[in-house]
Structure 1
Amino acid sequence: MTQPDLFDRSLLKQRRQRALATAKPGSDFLLETVADDLADRLTALSRTFEIGVDLGGHTGRITEIMAQCGKVGQVLRADLMCADPNIPAPDLVFDDALPPFREASVGLFVSALSLHWVNDLPGTLVQIRKALQPDGLFLGVLLGGDTLFELRDVLMRAELEVTGGAAPRVSPFADIRDLGALLQRAGFSLPVTDTDRLTVRYASMFNLMQDLKAMGATSILTERSKKPLPRSILMRAAELYAQDYSDPDGRIRATFALVSLSGWSPHESQQKPLRPGSAKTRLADALGAQEVSFSSSTEKPKG
């Protein structure tokens, strides 16, 4: 039985087109934060790649850091679903859920803030891994589970209070442990995941929602309610937000959990874990401790 899609990808394209056409200065702060982190990760690498792909476009910012890091010979910008009209044309335009690359053709994939909206993330990660050359690298940043938990909470509570029921209003995001497991399942070697929590303060809930709209990051849930929230629910949600998630100066807090992923395409040169029993140094010697033996016996239960 086929599972229904969680996210409406056609709506994602519409939201992205609107965000690009009405770009709001400063609303790309999440992307700038992620770009700075990815720049540090790329600079720290000890090897180079012949071909690298910016998987998602992202206003050209990720392409820029890939070109400047000195580790990538040719950088291809692949805009997500539609070309960014504000910068020169991309090399490719496609849905990052279905990367159209032949097997073992790319040395480096970098994806920033888009794969959390893919319906079949395990399948997409498998395709990325297969498209990587041996010892190729995937670097990705996704929104994690705690992202916007404050907004999710107050919208649900306000709608329950006013109508007696509530529909999902904020997209769910994967937990870091689940994402690490997905890297392993996709066949990546040396998978690593870590999380940074970014807290952003706003004058009100409505300012936060304006930024999300400008980022093209409002809900694209397939099962979302098609009716806009009435003013009464929004005003109550804003009250709850100010009541439960504000600082002494009255500004509210919004949490963004940024989960960084990295994984390598398998290659014989990579480090491998030692076989059990193959260690050449005793743990007691390494710790400078005296080894003590214990004897034990097991009694069978009497009948």
Structure 2
Amino acid sequence: MPGDIPNTTPLNKFKIPYNAGKSLAIFFGAIILALTLWNSWFTVAPEEVGIILRFGKYVREAPPGLNFKFPNPIEKVIKVPVQRQLKEEFGFRTQKAGVRTLYAQKNYRAESLMLTGDLNVVVVEWSTQFRIKDPFKFLFKVRDMKSTFRDMNEAVMRQVVGNRTVNEVLTTGRRAIAEEVKRSLQTLCNQYETGIAVDQIVLQNVTPPDPVKPSFNEVNQAQQEKEKLINQAMAEYNRIIPRAKGEALKTIQQAKGYATERINEAQGDALWFEALLKAYKEAPEITKARLYLETMDKIYPKLKTKYIIDQEIKGLLPLLNLGKEGK
């Protein structure tokens, strides 16, 4: 149109040279190739297993070490720690483990507050230690595995605690409770096909609720005092009864010995009398004289004062000084 200023810029001024365009294409191609190769290899740690998904579908497992796969988004790898022991905590949370472990200050009583079989309330804090034995089941058989596993733990613990008295839960039954929870939880994990192996249930802290702790402490003190008195009584029993039994046995043995001695003496006396009777029958006078002499021989040495009187003497009494001991 008249008055317009004509465009005098050459068209070939904005054209990219052929060699420069080829170099740029090679550069971008190299970057794409490098990214592809970078996404094609991966390393699995010794305690892990790599799960390979192709377009979201499970295809294989990758062992520990260096492995290769198709680049994203064709194949994706999920690393599962199958050799590592994992832990879930209930009623508390560990912020920092060490010599002086730090715990979270948040209140988790909704997890740990439970009802016992005798309708008492206790606070049970515990941890579950487990391993992943089947990574395929762990990843794909149950939706939201962590939440489901925690719900299973709570359900099993509440069932086991609800079947026991408060004294069992607080004192003597803690080990049995942990073992029963472990068995029941493993059975439930197998039924749900979670791929989890339960290693251990650790009862961290089992206490009565704060409002009733003073009453429970008084009951525990009374029970401890009762056990103390029972132990003292048993100690006294163990001290006295064995001694009494020993003395009774000693008396019995002495009585048996005395009985045996008396029986032997009686049998000896009987044999002596039989022998004496036999001798008397053979020579009565001689036997009488011998017995008389033997008896006198035993009696006379024991007498301090001796009077030998003829049986024909009369009026002897005025002559005897009976008030003095003779020599």
- Superposed pair shares fold, TM > 0.5: no
Q: Flag the structure with higher helix content.
A: 2
Determine which structure has greater relative contact order: mean sequence separation of CA pairs < 8 Å that are 6+ residues apart, divided by chain length: 1
Q: Which band: TM-score by shorter chain?
A: under 0.3
Give TM-score scaled by structure 2 length.
Answer: 0.21
